[in-house]
Structure 1
């Protein structure tokens, strides 16, 4: 078959990168998207390098986004996220990517999908179709386009950029329909090789399973490379993820859980401590409120999945959770400084009590994004 071209934009959003497509440029049947995304990323690649595509060999760089007209009246655009497996021919739509969510508003304005504002700030209401939730993006404009330059620095990305505020509205139950899928602040999971573990199963922006690092023989100061070298640890964490997936109702059994690569995210937590970061510096205990090492699609994340950080911030403000037991004490309205392998991220969550249990009105974070390339991506297959 001949090479076929589809227009696309390659963007960084937060600490991730993805190809972003217009919905109208893709086949009407979503089942036909997977071959295009796999070819574009260079998957599957047993060597985990994706040299034959745009992927970067790690989960945060093997992503595709699709943006199109809104399907609900309270949104300006629809946004669908696709996590592309690296070494397997699989495309997962089970979750959202919070980092790439920061690129969707600027993309929509710059592509003319949303009219530019009259003033200097754009507000774009994004309907994430993976979770059915609304994300409100606010960002500055410059000469009719989304601003790129600015003073905001985020750990894990060199330099600075224009700030993009993301408000994840009513994020509870994004994947399971409930903030606490089991109704409990903590549960016990019996995981082969790890034994019984006390965990928090929570779903805000994306489903997550949170566990104390000490219960895994860890400190949450480990580098991603050190974690990857411990193959027994990685296998145990994956077994934990699959067990949590079944308990949360995301999968019917462990076999089905193995096929859902993107959720739940796994958060391995510890109290504040001095920790090395990937730049070679040492992050001091005083600069963070909690330490986290997170797994994303089977790999230790080089920073932190944004939706995982949002979920963790919510759990930190819920007394009785694993996270609340480990976080530096603070007021319920205080933002949480989450320490990760690349530095720290500041996340705020509006958590309150209600007659039906805890409720999360919003979770807020600031990111930066940048358009890196625009043109056409090539794939082998029938004409779209």
Structure 2
């Protein structure tokens, strides 16, 4: 199967789904080519990348990191798991599908998709427990999906800041999220340097204090004040400041090298755009969200902003929330230092509102470990059918 500029289009069964504050195209593995190079080519064409105009007009992508995503699901033979879940972050302007990490938001749609495709047995009424193997990072995630009259309950009253309409609540448990290397889930550790604080020397910036963390996805955390920020910034404040974006990418790339995720900053910037994520944090403060809501400082514990694929996220990535909860539970990290204490459950303010996430962590002789991180999301099918792709079989 090859992408073609002539001939007929090929139909590939797919479901377009919202999961959390992201959207993506969901496929059954059996409907896609096995060859990894052809697979990437097909998925790029499905999404409409690479697009030099940055709009993904000729595909299903929505021209943002939150809407340029693909998911591949298959039945799992792994003990204790029902389905395998593989996530691809599709670059908009480059011919790149980044498989280096998970999408925590789209994780919430994996259970509903698997149930609707008959991959697991679900109760006629009640809560279906879906055991998910996240292939990118080699970690188990448990989704608790409401089912009514034999179908996934998608509509409800659960409100998720960053999503315009309420839906049914899906509870997620990220099991032992620490220690993934962002690709295979093997050989990594939660604090890759062994330190809760590292000091990076960044050309033309100087020394920056960071927390380097592997939890959910690899992440790099900095204090907003280290770059003259407050943590109250919205997308326009960051995404229209190219000098600041360049500085943040430099910190991200140097942090990734320090974490052992690549041999050079050039490799990280060109081949590993999805992970690690970089986030910055500020002390609790009043602020106005992107839709004009007033958030009072007493209603949140900390301000959090995260970048995805080089731009400030409009809300918060799901794996970013996992890492934030983890960092909040460990003494001496950038997050717990700003909080002034450790917390097992934290409510942080992001550009679209706030989010509660909790971590069950403990200190052992080998260091800190996290048994699980818990949060709630929602998901909904938007379109079912087939994607038409210009291909030659």
TM-score by length of 2: 0.95
- Does structure 2 conserve the Cα–Cα contact (< 8 Å) formed by 1:191 and 1:240? yes
2:388 paired with 1:378:
yes
Match of 2:257 among 224, 246, 267: 246
Q: Which secondary structure does the structure 2 equivalent of 1:381 belong to?
A: strand
Distance 2:66 2:204 in 1: 28
Distance 1:285 1:37 in 2: 43
For 1:27, the equivalent position in structure 2 comes to: 33
Match of 2:215 among 172, 192, 204: 204
Once the two structures are TM-superposed, the CA of residue 22 in structure 1 deviates from its matched residue by 0.2
For 2:119, the equivalent position in structure 1 comes to: 113
For 2:272, the equivalent position in structure 1 comes to: 260
Q: After superposition, where does 1:252-331 map in structure 2 within 5 Å?
A: 252-258=263-269, 259-327=271-339, 329=341
Once the two structures are TM-superposed, the CA of residue 237 in structure 1 deviates from its matched residue by 0.3
For 2:3, the equivalent position in structure 1 comes to: none
Distance 1:175 1:49 in 2: 32
2:161 paired with 1:144:
no
1:300–1:229 CA distance, 2 compared to 1 (3 A): same
- Does structure 2 conserve the Cα–Cα contact (< 8 Å) formed by 1:120 and 1:141? yes
Listed as ranges, the gaps of 5+ residues in structure 2 are: 1-5, 183-187
- Post-superposition Cα deviations, 1:161-211, rounded to whole Å, max 9, x if no partner, equal 111010000000122610001110000111123210000000111010000
- Does structure 2 conserve the Cα–Cα contact (< 8 Å) formed by 1:148 and 1:370? yes
Q: Structure 1 stretch 204-213 or stretch 283-292: which is displaced more?
A: 283-292
Listed as ranges, the gaps of 5+ residues in structure 1 are: none
Once the two structures are TM-superposed, the CA of residue 328 in structure 1 deviates from its matched residue by 5.9
Once the two structures are TM-superposed, the CA of residue 71 in structure 1 deviates from its matched residue by 3.9
Distance 2:295 2:189 in 1: 35
Aligned pair count? 381
Once the two structures are TM-superposed, the CA of residue 380 in structure 1 deviates from its matched residue by 1.6
Match of 2:379 among 369, 372, 378: 369
Q: Structure 1 stretch 296-305 or stretch 6-15: which is displaced more?
A: 296-305
2:225 paired with 1:219:
no
TM-score by length of 1: 0.97
Distance 2:97 2:327 in 1: 29
- Does structure 2 conserve the Cα–Cα contact (< 8 Å) formed by 1:283 and 1:343? yes
Distance 2:279 2:339 in 1: 13
Q: Which secondary structure does the structure 1 equivalent of 2:62 belong to?
A: coil
- Does structure 2 conserve the Cα–Cα contact (< 8 Å) formed by 1:7 and 1:376? yes
Distance 2:77 2:222 in 1: 37
Distance 1:227 1:263 in 2: 19
Q: Which secondary structure does the structure 2 equivalent of 1:310 belong to?
A: helix
Distance 1:29 1:43 in 2: 19
Distance 1:92 1:154 in 2: 27
RMSD, aligned CA: 1.2
